[in-house]
Homo-oligomer: A and B are copies of this chain.
Amino acid sequence: MTVSSASTPAPRAPDTGGSVVISVDAMGGDRGPSVVVAGMAESAEKNPEIRFIVHGDQEQLTGLIARRKVLAGRCDIRHAGGVVTMHDKPSQIIRKGEGTSMWSAVESVKQGEAQVAVSCGNTGALMALSMLRLRKLPGVNRPAIACLWPSRSPQGFNIMLDVGADIRADAHDLLQYALMGASYARNGLGVEMPRVGLLNVGTEEHKGRAELKQAHEMIEQAAPGSFTYVGFVEGGDLPSDRVDVIVTDGFTGNVALKTGEGTAKLVGDFLKDAFSNSIMSKFAAVLAMTSLKRLQKRIDPRRVNGGIFLGLNGTVVKSHGSADATGVSAAIKLAFTLAKSGFQDRLAARVAQGAVAASVSAAEAGEAS
């Protein structure tokens, strides 16, 4: 276990013999560093190739990591005394965040020491820091946060983006989201030819949303050879097998995400009520335990833990603030899968290609008019 300081620029990590290095912000979550380290240990057990650069309080982390045998020799600890809290405003963190574990974790990706960063911290601050330090990919105007959604698709999940990086999105942004989402589906979920849909309302009244109609045409043009464009989809299609990637602006996406989570939780609570209602139903619950556990696993939000920041020069995975060890482990696994697939380079190439295509078609439209 190596200890170095985050205040001096770190050198490139030594040759890790084909292993994948994940940069982990150990301090930002609601449950503290012990849960993050437990999640790292879970991941490390399953993936022998994984190594970590861990950012946070050196003394605490040294103790926590020493207690996990599976992490021995696989963690590089970087001391960072500051912690970004859930109440810190992104603007403050941009000005004064240097020296926090979150800043340090993003910095490891910027310096090329780690392929992906993972944090359970404040989403707004993490996005602001990631944009400040990693900068936007050429051709991307607005980065996006993509989430996974339990679905009837063969891979078990659909991808939705943007779910809250920016409340606005114009037609060009929506096209970029389609390209980035398709790339994520291919590299993160292994969907060879992702089906992409654009979220809209299913009535005649959508005439007013000019940017959606424009995006509809732009995405249709960009699809061939790269993904299948299924056209407009509705809220009810989010968990369906009609689509793998759902594209929307960050306002609508955030509301949809939280509505879905809230509804699933409501139904789950009602189910619990139903089974604790009588002696008979409690007995039934015992008999049905295996089935209920299977159900719980299918809709367990911890399994889909990990919003991905897309559109930056580097990949950042945002885990839920309240994630437990299983949740943190799921986020790390996602980071690992993306790193292994060379996702960042593929994404950059795809976006650049899309930007060229869009400017060509814009130029053609200009000539035609």
Contacts and interface: CB of A to CB of B under 8 A. Distances in A.
A117 to B, nearest CB: 19
A217 interface: no
B274 A281 contact: no
A290 B278 contact: yes
A266 B263 CA distance: 11
Contacts of A284: 284-285, 287-288, 291
A277 interface: yes
B205 A124 contact: yes
Contact of A205 (B250, B264, B285): B250
A97 interface: no
Interface stretch (A4-12, A102-110, A231-239): A231-239
Contact of A266 (B150, B235, B275, B287): B150
Nearest to A296: B274
Nearest to A275: B291
Nearest to A91: B204
Q: Looking at A204, A205, A274, which has the most chain B CB atoms within 10 Å of its CB?
A: A205
Interface string A65-104: 0000000000000000000000001100000000000000
Contacts of A363: none
B254 A256 contact: no
Interface string A278-321: 10110111011011101100110000000000000000000000
Contact of A236 (B151, B165, B208, B261): B261
A126 B357 CA distance: 42
B285 A288 contact: yes
Contact of A167 (B208, B266, B273): B208
A48 to B, nearest CB: 33
A296 to B, nearest CB: 9
Contacts of A201: 164, 167, 250-251, 254-255
How many copies, total?
A: 2
A240 interface: yes
Contact of A204 (B90, B238, B273): B90
A156 B258 CA distance: 20
The listed residue with most B CB atoms (<10 A of its CB), out of A248, A250, A258, is A258
A170 interface: no
A258 B167 CA distance: 20
Contacts of A89: 204
A262 B201 CA distance: 14
Contacts of A248: 255
A1 interface: no
Contacts of A255: 199, 201, 234-235, 248, 252, 255-256
Given A201-B164, A201-B167, A299-B270, A236 B259 contact: yes
Nearest to A262: B236
B266 A239 contact: yes
B168 A208 contact: yes
Interface string A200-221: 0111111011000000000000
Contacts of A168: 208
The 9 closest A-B pairs by CB, nearest first: A235-B258, A284-B288, A284-B287, A235-B259, A236-B262, A274-B291, A281-B291, A274-B295, A201-B254
Given A239-B262, A259-B260, 6 more contacts: A90-B204, A239-B266, A263-B264, A274-B291, A284-B288, A288-B288
5 contacts: A263-B263, A267-B268, A271-B295, A281-B290, A287-B287
